[in-house]
Structure 1
Amino acid sequence: MADYNRWMNTKLYEAAGQLSDAQLRQDRGAFFGSLYETLNHLAVADTIWLQRFAQHPALGGLQEAMQGFPKPTSLREPMAASFAELWDYRTRLDAVILQFAQQLTPAHLAETLRYANTSGKPQARNVGALLQHFFNHQTHHRGQASTLLFQAGVDVGVTDLFTLIPNEV
């Protein structure tokens, strides 16, 4: 899923890079309004989750990797001032996600993560289930982003995870 995440984000950002800043920021009636704000939301949500995962004592490598990243307090907090900066941020974040995924073991997935949600309410949930949510959330909003791009006249192309599954014939 980390490979798929990076592949799709690269496709989205390359497609979005064909639009002007005004087109990227145009309110298109999506949940986060514009394509830019949708991409920003993905970056901020991924950052929030990675910061939470990094708090787990067994995931020390992630804690180190996340030291240079902010600790957002809102799902709409700006992660960058421009599309180019957001793309760079996304690229760095995807590298962390890949590194994190490679260090995970079945034992990590069985652990419980204790954290506070954005409202400050304590939570305790299974790491494996939270990772499923993490990747599903990305897919959900990337679907919205590809629709926004299509409405703006840009075709992202194939987006199916199936494309990355090797054919064993």
Structure 2
Amino acid sequence: MELQPHFALMASYNQWMNAKVYDTASKLSTTELAEERGAYFGSIFGTLNHIVVADTLWLKRFASHPSSTTTLAVMVALPTPARLDQVMFDDLDGLKAHRQWLDSVIINWIAALTDEDLETILSYQNMKGVPAIRSFSSLILHFFNHQTHHRGQITTLLSQAGLDIEVTDLLALIPDEAGSQ
């Protein structure tokens, strides 16, 4: 089974959902975005920041993989977040602009990967310096799953704030194959 098309779909889904989340979140005031809502990262804004932190950490790790040194070279220059709850940007507009840039980096990186690249391993260290050696494709799967997990929390928080983000299913981006049979 070819993995690359599935990861390309996930990268597109990631970009699509982030745009929906940020567009919906922009309807809230700064105070409402920062309001403590009992989520793991506190607020809608805190959770949005966390996703950027985690994506930055993982993309910096992925940049060390031989297949990614060119496509993720831009990530190497970024500062490494010190904490999972670090505030990368203190305003939604700045965070949104960075999110859009990250999503473009992700799309281009995934497009450049081959199935052969995905069948390799990645050696990295977690934030505590503990070394790990894991399947590259499984780590990328984790990367996309992590984003989906926290966006799900955000959509719940947005709903509790009275905002409907509408369709969030990956199914919305999977082409209907009825005409090809």
TM bucket (normalised to shorter chain) is over 0.9
Q: Choose from 156, 166, 169 the match for 2:175.
A: 166
- In the aligned structure 1, how far is the partner of 2:116 from the partner of 2:60? 20
Consecutive unaligned residues in structure 1, runs of 5 or more = none
Change (3 A) 1:126 1:58: same
- In the aligned structure 1, how far is the partner of 2:30 from the partner of 2:24? 13
How far the C-alpha of 1:57 sits from its partner, in A, is: 2.3
**Could you say what secondary structure the match of 1:115 adopts?**
strand
Which residues in structure 2 correspond to 1:8-23 (within 5 Å)?
8-23=17-32
- In the aligned structure 2, how far is the partner of 1:157 from the partner of 1:135? 20
Q: Is the 8 A contact 1:38 1:141 kept in 2?
A: yes
Match of 2:81 in 1: 72
Q: Is the 8 A contact 1:79 1:89 kept in 2?
A: no
How far the C-alpha of 1:52 sits from its partner, in A, is: 0.2
Consecutive unaligned residues in structure 2, runs of 5 or more = 1-9
Match of 1:128 in 2: 137
- In the aligned structure 2, how far is the partner of 1:136 from the partner of 1:63? 20
- In the aligned structure 1, how far is the partner of 2:11 from the partner of 2:170? 11
Q: Which moved more, 1:55-64 or 1:38-47?
A: 55-64
Aligned sequence identity (%): 49
Q: Is the 8 A contact 1:53 1:62 kept in 2?
A: no
**Could you say what secondary structure the match of 2:132 adopts?**
strand
TM-score normalised by the chain length of structure 2: 0.90
Q: Which moved more, 1:69-78 or 1:95-104?
A: 69-78
Deviation by residue 1:48-69 (Cα, 9 ceiling, x = unmatched): 0000000112312233231453
Match status 1:83 vs 2:89: no
Which residues in structure 2 correspond to 1:31-50 (within 5 Å)?
31-50=40-59
Provide runs of 4+ in structure 1 moved above 4 Å.
Answer: none
- In the aligned structure 1, how far is the partner of 2:49 from the partner of 2:91? 10
Letter in 2 for 1:21: T
**Could you say what secondary structure the match of 1:27 adopts?**
coil
- In the aligned structure 2, how far is the partner of 1:81 from the partner of 1:59? 30
TM-score normalised by the chain length of structure 1: 0.97
Letter in 2 for 1:12: V
Letter in 2 for 1:26: E
Deviation by residue 1:15-62 (Cα, 9 ceiling, x = unmatched): 000000000000000111100000000010001000000011231223
